[in-house]
Amino acid sequence: MYKKLVVVMSILLFISCNEVPTNTINVEDIQQLNSAIEGAKPGDEIVLANGIWKDVQIKFIGKGTKEQPIILRAETAGKVFIEGISNLEFGGEYLEVSGLYFRNGHTPTKNVIAFRISPDQVANNCRVTNCVILDFNQLQRDNDDLWVQFFGKHNQLDHCYIAGKTNGGPTVRVDLKGNQSIRNYHQIVNNHFGPRPRKGGARGETIQLGSSFTSMSPSNTVIANNLFEECNGEVEVISSKTNFNEIKNNVFYMSEGSVVTRHGNYCVIDGNYFIGDGKNENIGGIRIINTGHSIVNNYFYNLIGENFRSPLAVMNGIPKSPLNRYNQVTDIIVAYNTYVNCKSPWQFGVGTNIAQKDVLPLSEIRSARPLRSVVANNVIYNKVGDTEPIIEHDKADGVLFKSNIINNQGVAFKDEERITPSSFELTQVADYIFLPIGISNEIEPYNGYGFEAISEDLFGNSRANSNSIGATIQTEAKDPSILDKKKYGASWYSNEKPAYEAVTFEVTNATDLTAKLTEARAGDIISLSEGQFVVSKSLVINKSITIQSSSNKKAEIVFEGANNTPLFELNPYGILTFKNVVLSGNGTQQAFASLKENMSNHFGLFVSGCEISNFNYVLKAYKQTFAEEISFTNSAISNCENGIELSEETNDKGDYNVEYLTIDNCRFINVKSNIVDYYRGGYDESTIGGNLLVSNSTFENCGAKEVTNILLNTRGIVNVAIENNVFKNNRVKLVALLWGAKNNSHSNNKVQNSGKILVEENLKMKLMY
């Protein structure tokens, strides 16, 4: 009898202790939400009604418990839209937000989601899950903000989809200023970081962990199981700037940047996938600065980046570096990684700039080579042999190489002491995933100091009993489904758009052109009939659209709009493909121009087969505007005052107005100022930017009024190629002034009566930091 009683009592006790009474509070507007938050107790669930919540600044302050958090969620996940001037801040303990969709707006503060209310009121053990932040950009690029900013400790961002940031500032940042935020163990897990467009300058990281000013602090932040898809904001996808962070089991897919241990030490980069396309040199791998990092169990596929963007870039440091510059690399471990079809995957002494010592202060000279570091137990496979699997920009004499092998298809290379040639083969286990087979007995794994921590392989198999070199031990491997997007981000959101069949609008007059431009959807085509279109007001381009002549005979647009207005006004998202049309103005207007301000998203321009004449500017891009690509091909430009104007980013902070500018097979006649004015200012090797190709074109009688006396002005642009052009009778001193130390080149140009092409090895630039 007693026994039974005890059992019953135990059960009762168990229930009473584990029961989590939930109190649901439905709210329909910010006032109701505020009072619900004010009264919330552990276990409460505040439910936001579906619909658009405009201009709401939510301060989620409360104190839940581990067992009974306070929850703030969408009535239906994904159906609560946070729009307008809105944001969300946390203060307290055990608070959780889910199901919100931030879009069509921006934050009034410096962050969309912040894990604090004030320095004295931070969040601990709080969570954002199953939310989306999309294109929630400030109107101006230089208005920096952060979309998620961590403070406090033990906070979590998981299962969110975050994409489309164009303005300055990392998408996510962990802040460590103050003892309230160190040893934070924040979790950034299972998210889908969707495309972040190229920003055109610095401050475009997807995740930044601390800053140089807190680089001495232990952060212990975990970034795991996320998908980074086309995170192209800048040269760093993840910038780890504090200590003891873990970057684990993430997929970096076609992302133009690297995981960089920019500051701080003892970062673990373990079991990640870096997937490239074998063509795009901007897709990076892992770049190492500082001390004590472990780069283990990673898989690199089809990466062809060089230098800063190489699969493994080990930098030179500045001796006794200032706090915010480049410390020497010491005590790093690069072990058990697999490289498949990567070009020169290991690069050492990256960033050495001893040659620039005449234009840089001593405190900028990276001459300190890596010390006490080990590269061991790695496997390299090249479908096509690589004569330089290791590139030493400066000597790697402080690095110990042990038990590395390569299948180089028998092609000779000079580092056989460091990497042993082998003839193992690969087996494909999934798209992009090829694993070495038959290397079990090939070579004994090296066991260095600190290697005991590498207990598992890429897939989580134990290395204890059947260890082998490379990212995976030699066992049956299953498809890791790294690109199964259901594993990442918000459950209710997918960035995979159904295929759209473009509609073609046939247009016969200017009124119709304007109307159809409004009516058309992104991707549609507007086809101009033969004849003249007299346009009297700017045409707004605010989506991807193609405008072209419908027949072989080019349509002709005559612009009669006001002075200093553009024929095509390029708005945010406005990407114009313009083909086979004749354009003319009255000499005072712009053929193409961005908005002067509020360019909250990028524009783009592709002009081909056109004839453009009598404009003040062919293209005018204003400050804080950005295009990923602009091209002029097979076109003739004549009798304009100015050419292609992309020179307003004079803050010398590394910004510029276009990533890729291409001029091919064009003819410029009588453009009175310079043809191209393309500027990027500020010296720091990590801001790698601007690309100009000018090829197969003719330039005649241009530059007569150009005050700089340079026809193609590219000051500060890192990648410039001028090839196979003819320059004739242009009244300038220089066709171009190129930056020899960077990737600037010229070849096979004919220059007659047009000054010359000058190469200056080292340009003196303003230091950015």
Give me the torsion for CA of 531, 536, 542, 546, rounded to 10°. 10
Helix (H) / strand (E) containing 657: none
| Rounded Cα distance, 343 and 382, in Å | 8
The interface mask with its own copies, positions 450-489, x = CB under 8 A, is x---------------------------------------
**Residue from 179, 441, 465, 753 binding its own copies (CB under 8 A):** 179
Instruction: Report whether 48 contacts 31 (CB < 8 A).
Output: no
Q: Select the span of 442-450, 535-543, 577-585, 746-754 touching its own copies (CB under 8 A).
A: 442-450
Q: Which of 11, 323, 704, 759 binds its own copies (CB under 8 A)?
A: 323
Q: Which of 321, 546, 600, 730 binds its own copies (CB under 8 A)?
A: 321
Whole-Å CA distances, 76 to 48, 81, 101, 129: 9, 11, 11, 14
* Pairing, β 405-407 against β 420-421: parallel
Please give the size of the binding site for its own copies, defined by CB under 8 A: 31
Q: Select 92 or 305, whichever has its Cβ closest to its own copies.
A: 92
Print the binding letters for residues 192-211 with its own copies: x by CB under 8 A, - otherwise.
Answer: --------------------
Region binding its own copies by CB under 8 A among candidate stretches 446-454, 542-550, 702-710, 733-741: 446-454
Q: Pick from 322, 438, 531, 740: which binds its own copies (CB under 8 A)?
A: 322
The CA distance from 449 to 283, in Å, is: 32
Q: Which amino acid is at 288?
A: I
Which residue lies nearer to its own copies by CB, 17 or 362?
A: 362
Window of 35-43, 46-54, 445-453, 479-487 that interacts with its own copies by CB under 8 A: 445-453
Residue 39 touching its own copies (CB under 8 A): no
Minimum distance from residue 169 beta carbon to its own copies (Å): 21
Q: Interface with its own copies includes 154 (CB under 8 A)? A: no
CB 556 within 8 A of CB 530: no
Instruction: Using the rule CB under 8 A, give the single segment among 32-40, 100-108, 172-180, 382-390 that binds its own copies.
Output: 172-180
The reply to whether 84 sits near its own copies by the rule CB under 8 A is no
Q: Which stretch binds its own copies (CB under 8 A): 30-38, 318-326, 519-527, 698-706?
A: 318-326
| 31 lies in the binding site for its own copies (CB under 8 A) | no
Return the number of the residue (181 or 635) whose C-beta is nearest its own copies.
Answer: 181
8-state DSSP, 499? P
Bridge-based pairing of strands 127-129 and 87-93 is unpaired
Site for its own copies in 272-291 (CB under 8 A): 290-291
CB of 454 to its own copies, least distance (A): 12
Q: How buried is residue 25: exposed, middle or buried, by Cβ count under 10 Å (0-12/13-18/19+)?
A: middle
Beta carbons within 8 Å of 290's beta carbon, 6+ residues apart: 261, 263, 264, 265, 317, 327, 328, 329, 330
Strands 236-240 and 100-106: unpaired
Residues between 210 and 239 with contacts to its own copies, criterion CB under 8 A: 212-213, 216-218
SS (H, E, C) 47-82: EECCEEEECCEEEEEEECCCCCCEEEEECCCCCEEE
The answer to the question of residue 398 lying near its own copies (CB under 8 A) is: no
**Using CB under 8 A, which residues numbered 346 to 375 contact its own copies?**
363, 372
Alpha-carbon dihedral angle through residues 630, 636, 638, 641, given to the nearest 10 degrees: 0
**Applying CB under 8 A, does 382 fall inside the site for its own copies?**
no
Q: Which residues contact 188 (CB under 8 A, 6 or more apart)?
A: 156, 157, 158, 172, 207, 221, 222, 223, 224, 226
Binding site for its own copies (CB under 8 A): 177-180, 182, 212-213, 216-218, 243, 265-266, 290-292, 320-325, 327, 330-331, 333, 363, 372, 448-450
